[in-house]
């Protein structure tokens, strides 16, 4: 009996040895030591290491934008992706700035490798692309003219109002089927959207809380404020993620692993968010301690 047990154990160990020697060799990538080289079979990560990565972004302050003076690309997501590519050892990085609603079509058409202006998952998008791990959290808000002359406080108060949203955004999708809104006005940038609110050409905007808060902070005295009492619906909350083609599984694994590493480093994504004026509410993964 004991001999048979030894024989079975030896056979099992031999099987494990054969399987192990047939697997890809593990190798450190960039600044991530001791993890897999992300070579699952499609070659997408090897391709960007060899040829470089093209990142698609929108003119979407404060997430992604091009500085009008320096012509440098900047924003929360741009800085996060610079940290990601550095960690992964991707040396050649180029940026393509396009309208927000062109990012996913351009990704599918292989004009860029990542849609890096953060977007929320929804069934329509999941039908055509995949998403990375989440980088941070945010939700929606209503912004109104100073003093709230239209008395807007809830989603129900949007009935009969002229509402501004960015074309192709989550808020556009969320509101487009409402028949009680007087007009849903679509914009390509937040700057033009907020300018129309300040000029009172629209009554209210439904926009990311981060964008509204930072715009008010960066423009002291601007006649614009949050609509008090607004409580977003559950589906209006979400995690900031980045779009990847469904076929690029290796690249998705690599970027997601880098995000996970940077999300847990105090000098990683938390530092980038803090420098952008965001707080613990957006750092859902960071302990609320001093």
Q: 138-236: same fold as 44-137+239-275? A: yes
Please provide the DSSP assignment of the chain as one string. -HHHHHHHHHHHHHHHHHHHHHSPPP--BTTBTTS----SSS-HHHHHHHH-EEEEEESBTTTBEE-TTT--EESHHHHHHHHHHHHHT---EEEEEE-GGGHHHHHHTTS-SEEEEEE---HHHHTT-EE----EEEEEEEEEETT-TT---SGGGGTTSEEEEETTSHHHHHHTT-SS-SEEEEESSHHHHHHHHHTTSSSEEEEEHHHHHHHHHHSTT-SEEE-TT----GGGEEEEEEEE-TT-HHHHHHHHHHHHHHHT-TTSHHHHHHHTT--TTT-TTS-S--
27-44: average pLDDT: 57
CB-side neighbour CA atoms (13 Å) of 48? 30
Residue 280 scores a pLDDT above 80? no
pLDDT in tens, 131-172: 999 998 878 889 999 999 999 999 999 999 999 999 988 899
Task: Write the CATH number of the domain with boundaries 44-137+239-275.
Answer: 3.40.190.10
In this prediction, residue 31 carries a pLDDT of 45
pLDDT in tens, 230-267: 877 766 667 889 999 999 999 999 999 999 999 888 89
Domain boundaries, the chain: 44-137+239-275, 138-236
pLDDT in tens, 43-60: 999 999 999 999 999 988
By CB atoms closer than 10 A (0-12, 13-18, 19+), residue 160 is exposed
In this prediction, residue 123 carries a pLDDT of 85
CATH fold of 138-236: D-Maltodextrin-Binding Protein; domain 2 (3.40.190)
């Amino acid at each position: 009996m004991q001999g048979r047990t030894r024989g079975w154990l030896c056979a099992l160990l031999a099987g494990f040895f054969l399987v192990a020697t047939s697997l890809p060799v593990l190798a450190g990538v960039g600044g991530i030591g001791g993890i897999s080289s992300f070579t699952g079979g499609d070659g997408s990560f090897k391709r960007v290491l060899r040829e470089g990565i093209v990142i698609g972004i929108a003119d979407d302050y404060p997430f992604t934008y091009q500085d009008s003076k320096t012509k440098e690309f900047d924003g929360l997501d741009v800085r996060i992706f610079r940290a990601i590519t550095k960690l992964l050892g991707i040396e050649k990085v180029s940026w393509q700035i396009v309208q927000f609603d062109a990012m996913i079509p351009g990704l599918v058409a292989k004009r860029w490798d990542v849609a890096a202006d953060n977007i929320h998952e929804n069934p329509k998008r999941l039908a055509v692309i995949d998403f990375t791990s989440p980088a941070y959290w945010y939700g929606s808000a209503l912004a109104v003219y100073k003093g709230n002359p239209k008395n807007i406080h809830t989603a129900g108060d949007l009935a009969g109002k002229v509402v501004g949203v960015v074309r192709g955004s989550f808020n556009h999708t969320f509101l487009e089927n409402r028949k009680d809104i007087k007009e849903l006005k679509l914009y390509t940038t937040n700057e033009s959207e907020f300018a129309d609110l300040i000029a009172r050409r629209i009554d209210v905007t439904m926009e990311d809380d981060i964008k509204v808060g930072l715009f008010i902070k960066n423009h002291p005295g601007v006649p614009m404020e949050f609509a008090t009492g607004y409580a977003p619906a559950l589906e209006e909350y979400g995690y900031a993620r980045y779009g990847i083609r469904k076929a690029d599984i290796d690249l998705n694994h690599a970027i997601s692993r880098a995000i996970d590493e940077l999300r847990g480093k105090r000098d990683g994504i938390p530092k980038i968010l803090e420098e952008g004026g965001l707080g613990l509410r957006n750092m859902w993964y960071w302990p609320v301690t001093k």
